[in-house]
A and B are shown apart, each in its own frame.
Chain A
């Protein structure tokens, strides 16, 4: 699972903005929302007759595999970088 997410935004004017988000602490802070999202997902699984365990397993695998993902988009002196580390 990624430990942190780095977001860097470069604008033509001004200094680049760099945001470093530690995943685990943020998840802990937003844990009530995470639980709520989990409940909504569980209801959706029941409505659409999808195996809840399978869905949870797939979601966990995707979250774990995110580490190393990097998206860097730029145009001229403007740019956005999102990196999962």
Chain B
């Protein structure tokens, strides 16, 4: 919390200003400092790694999986999709269909996967359970 916002909340707590006045002051403060608010934020598209962290507690012992994958590696891996022979894609499609996943892999273009990887740096996934925590994010 920045100093000015804290001062406003202090004045509100001390009864020097009303809640409406505090709200107006905070709104004015946010209007004046839109750039400052994002200084600490990571610029879009600057993430370098995809991180997957899993912490669990199995059989009375703590377990962990900590994977760091460069996004560059994902981008390179996407190019592999273009190398898969059409025959293999058709067979994979048939198997997917048999398993109840009607997904046409031949329609999946490397450009689409590339766009997906580009947007990954905004993804943060957290799953919390009593005995396990999973976190997927970019850094």
Chain A residues in contact with chain B, CB under 8 A? 48-51, 54-55, 57-58, 61-62, 64-76
Contacts and interface: CB of A to CB of B under 8 A. Distances in A.
B15 to A, nearest CB: 54
A72 B76 contact: no
B80 A58 contact: yes
Interface of B: 48-49, 58, 61-70, 72-73, 75-77, 79-80, 82-83, 85, 87-88
A65 B65 CA distance: 21
B79 A69 contact: no
Contacts of A72: 64-67
B76 A70 contact: no
Given A54-B82, A55-B83, A68 B64 contact: no
A28 to B, nearest CB: 24
Given A54-B82, A65-B70, A73 B48 contact: no
Given A48-B85, A54-B82, A69-B69, A76 B49 contact: no
Contacts of A67: 70
Given A62-B76, A65-B73, A66-B73, A75 B63 contact: yes
Given A54-B83, A74-B63, A74-B65, 7 more contacts: A58-B76, A62-B73, A62-B80, A65-B76, A70-B67, A71-B66, A76-B61
A75 B77 CA distance: 29
Determine which residue in B58, B66, B88 has the highest number of CB atoms from chain A within 10 A of its CB, and name it.
B66
